[in-house]
Amino acid sequence: MSAKDEPRHIEAELYDRLSKVIDPELGRSITDLGMIAAITSRPANAPGAFDVTIDVELTVPGCPLSQTITNQINGAVRSYPDAVLQPHIELSAMSQDKLGNLVSELKAERHQNPFNKPGTHTRIFAIASGKGGVGKSSVTANLAATFAALGYDTAAIDADIYGFSLPKLFGVHTQPTNLNGMLMPVTAWGVKMISIGMFAGSERAILWRGPRLQRSLEQFLADVWWGSPDVLLLDLAPGTGDMAISVAQALPNAELVVVTTPQPSASDVAVRSGLVALQVPMRVRGVVENMSYFDHEGERLHIFGEGGGRRVSEQLTTALGTDVPLLAQLPLETDIREIGESGRPAVLNEVGALATTPLASEFKALARQLIAAH
């Protein structure tokens, strides 16, 4: 190869390598997204070395993941084997016209609700309870964090519009990025999520009724770029109201997981949330009994009584005519409150890996049960 042709060869090779760099938010190659505006290579002062300038156009100015993208680009440049390359990465933002065209292409590709498309592989679990106070949101947050820690591409929707909890449980204090009307979910502890609690004014009382609640779910599904997650969890509002019905209508492939506590007052009400499956096409995957026992020096103390989860499981199995197993009996641990209130799911340690605790072990077993069965 002549010295004249080598810079062009380098530029073509680098473009091919950059096609394997994936935008962490959109889940697409940065070349497919048009983020690589130009690659320029020229001989450097040292023999066999080249200065390489890569013009990168981010989707938004000050993109919070720009450093991640930059690091991946540097890694792709360093992997070039035939010459010493000295990269210079120039960051800018796409023009409004270019960004508008990109968003239009992505929306056209996605077609409204992406989870109802033929061939989708996303497993959808709607976490429900008959009443508040049983730890439904905590179960949702820790289960989502467990799936993510196990290596699954995990998403979560806070569908409890009145009593949203996921932002606090995950320590989220930022708003989703708005790409010309398409929202990017906020990622925390490996979980992509959206919640009405992430938006300005959400601290005020929300007095929405059926149609507006349904529209909020439709927006969370269709106006957010989820990519193709392996798992989607929805934290439903307690009871059998409008949102539970909307979920069943919008996501007929969702599987319902009913959360209860051991005492009869909770388990009797929990049955009703499972019986919604008699009215809408939703499979009840199973029951989770939360706060089942407290481990005191090796002895299990049943502070809230016993048998609630088993009662719900048996009653739903009889009423629905299909097996509704008791999937897990989760221990009562102070870590759920103390660590959860700090903004880290209790199943994770400080670096985001699964903790070596009985609680984390139970959630790990629960996640594997759910993902294994159809």
Residue 169 and residue 62 share a domain: no
pLDDT in tens, 73-97: 888 888 887 667 888 899 988 888 8
Q: Is residue 109 part of a domain?
A: no
Tokens at 19, concatenated: 């096609």
Q: Please give the tally of structural domains in the chain.
A: 2
The whole-number pLDDT of residue 209 equals 44
Residue 83 and residue 125 share a domain: no
**Per-residue burial over 254-271, b = 16 or more CB atoms within 10 Å of its CB, e = otherwise:** bbbbbbbbbbeebbbbbb
In which domain, by residue range, is 151 found? Answer: 114-372
**Per-residue burial over 101-110, b = 16 or more CB atoms within 10 Å of its CB, e = otherwise:** ebbeebbeeb
Residue 360 and residue 230 share a domain: yes
Residue 304 and residue 168 share a domain: yes
Residue 85 and residue 14 share a domain: yes
For the CA atoms of the chain, what is the radius of gyration?
A: 24
The whole-number pLDDT of residue 154 equals 96
Residue 189 and residue 138 share a domain: yes
The whole-number pLDDT of residue 145 equals 96
290 touches 133 (CB < 8 A): no
Residues paired with residue 58 on neighbouring β-strands, in sequence order: 93
Q: Is residue 99 part of a domain?
A: no
How far is the C-alpha of 255 from the C-alpha of 126, rounded, in Å?
6
Residue 130 and residue 69 share a domain: no
**Per-residue burial over 304-319, b = 16 or more CB atoms within 10 Å of its CB, e = otherwise:** beeebbebbbebbbee
Q: Is residue 103 part of a domain?
A: no
The whole-number pLDDT of residue 348 equals 93
Q: Determine the Cα angle at 161 with ends 334 and 315, to 5°.
A: 65
Residue 138 and residue 88 share a domain: no
Q: Is residue 186 part of a domain?
A: yes
Residue 164 and residue 83 share a domain: no
Q: Distances in Å between the alpha carbon of 317 and those of 136, 254, 302, 314?
A: 21, 18, 25, 5
- Residues with pLDDT less than 70, the chain: 1-4, 82-83, 108-114, 116-119, 200-216, 239-245, 248, 277-281, 335, 373-374
How far is the C-alpha of 101 from the C-alpha of 296, rounded, in Å?
60
The whole-number pLDDT of residue 269 equals 74
The whole-number pLDDT of residue 45 equals 79
Q: Can you give the pTM of this predicted structure?
A: 0.74
Residue 79 and residue 126 share a domain: no
Kindly report the CATH number assigned to the domain that includes residue 165.
Answer: 3.40.50.300
The whole-number pLDDT of residue 373 equals 65
The whole-number pLDDT of residue 206 equals 47
Kindly report the CATH number assigned to the domain that includes residue 44.
Answer: 3.30.300.130
